[in-house]
Amino acid sequence: MGCHRSGTNLLYDTLLSAGGFAVYRGYIPVYKVLVPRFGGLDNAENRKKIMQVWLRSKGFRRSGLDAAKLTEKVLADCRTGGDFVRINMDEIAQEQGVTRWAMYDPDSLLHMPRIKAEIPQALFVHIIRDGRDIALSLKKMGEFRPFPWNPRAGSLRETALYWEWMVRTGQHYGRAFSADYIEIHYEDLVSDPRATLNKLGQFIDHDLDYDRIQTTGLGRLRESNSSFRGEAAANSTLATAKPAGRWKERLSREEVSGLEALVGDCLEDVGYELATSAKERKPGLREAWMRSIYPTYLSTKFFLKMKSPIGRWANLSVLELEDAAQQTVTQ
């Protein structure tokens, strides 16, 4: 888990390539989509509606599970979002003859307390990447609009504040169960993978042999999902593409100082050096306004989605339903 574009997909595929984990190249957005849209799984009718949609999703199609068998288990045994995740992933693991599974979803970071309450044995791996690279990547994608009143997609400053909000939220929740929470830096994973995987392997009590991982090479270990992949040579690899520190070459001094004026404290707190002087990054009125408004906006938006009827309008498009014409489900 981690802020989007932090390397969550890369880390997930690294774990799967180590062996011993259920290989599931999908994700189950039960907390951010299914439960807000249809209601809690403790209600039998809600379980039926969720299963009707889930069986048409890309996540289910990638699981390879039998629809009737899974439906029977969910309707009989599922009472929480954690149960839904556990039932799906336990079934996948059992079909593949393995004993462990890992879940990929960057936004799991926002649901850590609920996940821990519903899956007590859960371990959380928070991957953190330089917020300046995150802002650059999200801007390059041009699709990220964190704030509806700004018509510019992927504003550097807004996405940097989103990165800080995600990092701070993950760290805040992680402190509540520190024995089951670890932080991994993206830059360490790509520059010193053996040492980083050794540290992670000890935390999750699993052999993360680097050579075996490289040989297996699932998903993003073979094909990058970088927002800059179109600019790279066809035969470039993770080792040669230099994905860390792109901001140093692609952002102007003014852009860097603007970002560091907003999220410089967070960058330093998580181990990144600043590139501008205190005078250059002295925040002005605009930066002060952004810092006071945007984190509150993000927290309020998340609260309303999770705790109010607004969640009933949760977007089902992320499920990639098999029959797009039927995405509007009668409540």
Residue 87: pLDDT above 90?
Answer: yes
Taking the C-alpha atoms of residue 140 and residue 178, their distance in angstroms, rounded to an integer, is 35
Residue 237: pLDDT above 50?
Answer: no
Residue 5: pLDDT above 80?
Answer: yes
Q: What is the pLDDT of residue 155?
A: 83
Q: What is the pLDDT of residue 330?
A: 41
SS3 56: coil
> What is the token pair recorded at 80?
């929480």
Residue 200: pLDDT above 80?
Answer: yes
Q: What is the mean pLDDT of residues 208-237?
A: 69
How long a stretch of residues is the chain?
331
Taking the C-alpha atoms of residue 302 and residue 120, their distance in angstroms, rounded to an integer, is 23
Residue found by looking up tokens 């989007």 in the block: 4
Q: What is the mean pLDDT of residues 11-32?
A: 94
Q: What is the pLDDT of residue 143?
A: 58
Q: Which long-range contacts (CB under 8 A, 24 or more apart) does 255-261 make?
A: 255/156, 256/132, 257/281, 258/156, 258/157, 258/287, 259/131, 259/132, 259/135, 259/156, 259/157, 259/160, 260/132, 261/287
* Residue range 30-52, pLDDT digits in tens: 999 999 999 999 999 999 999 99
Phi, psi for 220 (deg, rounded to 5): -70, -5
Helix 253-269 to helix 285-307 angle (10° resolution) is 60
Taking the C-alpha atoms of residue 304 and residue 86, their distance in angstroms, rounded to an integer, is 26
Q: What is the pLDDT of residue 222?
A: 74
Q: What is the pLDDT of residue 142?
A: 64
Q: What percent of the chain has pLDDT over 90?
A: 72
* Residue range 177-199, pLDDT digits in tens: 999 999 999 999 999 999 999 99
Q: What is the pLDDT of residue 239?
A: 44
Q: What is the pLDDT of residue 241?
A: 52
Which of 224, 226, 263, 222 shows the shortest CA–CA distance to 141?
226
* Residue range 270-329, pLDDT digits in tens: 999 999 999 999 888 888 888 888 889 999 999 999 989 998 998 899 999 987 444 444
Q: What is the pLDDT of residue 289?
A: 87
Q: What is the mean pLDDT of residues 61-65?
A: 96
Cα 221 to its chain centre, rounded Å, is 17
Q: What is the pLDDT of residue 91?
A: 97
Taking the C-alpha atoms of residue 174 and residue 182, their distance in angstroms, rounded to an integer, is 8
Q: What is the pLDDT of residue 323?
A: 72
The stretches of the chain forming alpha helices (DSSP H) are 8-17, 35-38, 44-54, 58-63, 67-77, 81-96, 112-118, 131-141, 156-176, 186-191, 193-204, 210-216, 238-241, 247-250, 253-269, 285-307
Residue 152: pLDDT above 60?
Answer: no
Cα distance from N-terminal residue to C-terminal residue, the chain: 31
